[in-house]
Amino acid sequence: MSLDSTKADEIALVVEEAIVSGELPPGTVLRQEQLSERFSVSRTPIREALRRLAALGLVSFVPNRGVRVRTLSRDELWEAFLVRAELESLATEIAAPKMTSDDLDELERAEAEFSRATQALRSRPREGDDRWRLTSEWVRANHGFHDVIYRVASVPMIERLAKGARRSFSGHAVWGPGGSDVDALYERNDREHQAIIAALRAANPGGGRALAREHVLHSYELLVHVLDQREDNGATLVSAASR
């Protein structure tokens, strides 16, 4: 692997994390000259990193307008959640009979981390660098919980496709609850993780699958509430054309 290719991987990972956390919201223009200066590299690894992000569906090349963080319509977001719901629930069903006590303990630890991140996100200010840090920690903790299940299931193709769907909407999740209705959805999201663990501890594949599917679709409901709040405050994070 060439030095440029290695550097492109590193840059793509940094930019992907910024998109996933919401630090780079949909519609943000990514200028090659600015990225080149930021990472102290030529434009060759920058262009390669952007191509890799485009292949993941995180950015799009707009003729004569450069590269932008992709903006999805509500219909596209819904489809992404449907895909993830079906694949993640299938992975959960497959993982259920494979779960060892050590795996379940790891899942419990991941859920405890997610619960802490959820409470921190709900209770702290929504502005400035602190907001981006808390958002990023919440997203990573959520992914960490589900990634334990993917690891145990050991179904690489299903995992790859599900995570591709997950990437397509992660960047839109600038999670910033501002009311009791959204807080209740956050609490439900956390409880559903715990219910999934209970089903896996009971070695109940069908129950785990049903709970995981419901959980992902409920996450879409949470995202829509957050997006509606953001748009009401003048921040358009997703195209309203397909509402």
Has residue 87 been placed in a domain?
Answer: yes
Q: What is the pLDDT of residue 30?
A: 93
Statement: residue 230 has pLDDT above 90: no
- What percentage of the chain reaches a pLDDT higher than 70? 81
Statement: residue 2 has pLDDT above 80: no
Contact in structure between 174 and 22 (CB atoms under 8 Å): yes
Q: Are residues 30 and 85 in the same domain?
A: no
Q: Are residues 214 and 109 in the same domain?
A: yes
Q: What is the pLDDT of residue 132?
A: 67
Q: Are residues 44 and 85 in the same domain?
A: no
Q: Are residues 14 and 112 in the same domain?
A: no
- Decide which of 96 and 163 is more confident: 96
Q: Are residues 221 and 152 in the same domain?
A: yes
Statement: residue 213 has pLDDT above 70: yes
Q: Are residues 129 and 200 in the same domain?
A: yes
Closest by Cα among 79, 84, 28, 85 to 53:
28
Q: By residue range, what is the domain housing residue 58?
A: 3-69
Has residue 238 been placed in a domain?
Answer: no
Statement: residue 239 has pLDDT above 50: no
Q: Are residues 156 and 59 in the same domain?
A: no
Q: What is the pLDDT of residue 17?
A: 77
- Decide which of 182 and 24 is more confident: 24
Mean pLDDT over 30-41 rounds to: 92
Q: Are residues 163 and 45 in the same domain?
A: no
Q: pLDDT tens for residues 187-201?
A: 899 999 999 999 999
Q: Quote the mean pLDDT of the chain.
A: 83
User: How confident is residue 11, by pLDDT bands cut at 50, 70 and 90?
Assistant: very high
Q: What is the pLDDT of residue 154?
A: 97
Q: pLDDT tens for residues 79-136?
A: 989 999 999 999 999 999 999 999 999 999 999 999 998 888 777 655 555 666 777 7
Which residues, at least 6 apart from 69, have a Cβ–Cβ distance to it below 8 Å? 19, 24, 25, 26, 27, 28, 30, 58, 59, 171
- What percentage of the chain reaches a pLDDT higher than 90? 46
The rounded distance, in Å, linking the Cα atoms of 193 and 222 is 15
Q: What is the pLDDT of residue 165?
A: 84
Which residues, at least 6 apart from 238, have a Cβ–Cβ distance to it below 8 Å? 26, 71, 72, 73, 74, 77, 172, 227
First and final C-alpha spacing in the chain: 45
Number of domains composing the chain:
2
Residue 37, class by beta-carbon neighbours within 10 Å (0-12 exposed, 13-18 middle, 19+ buried)?
Answer: exposed
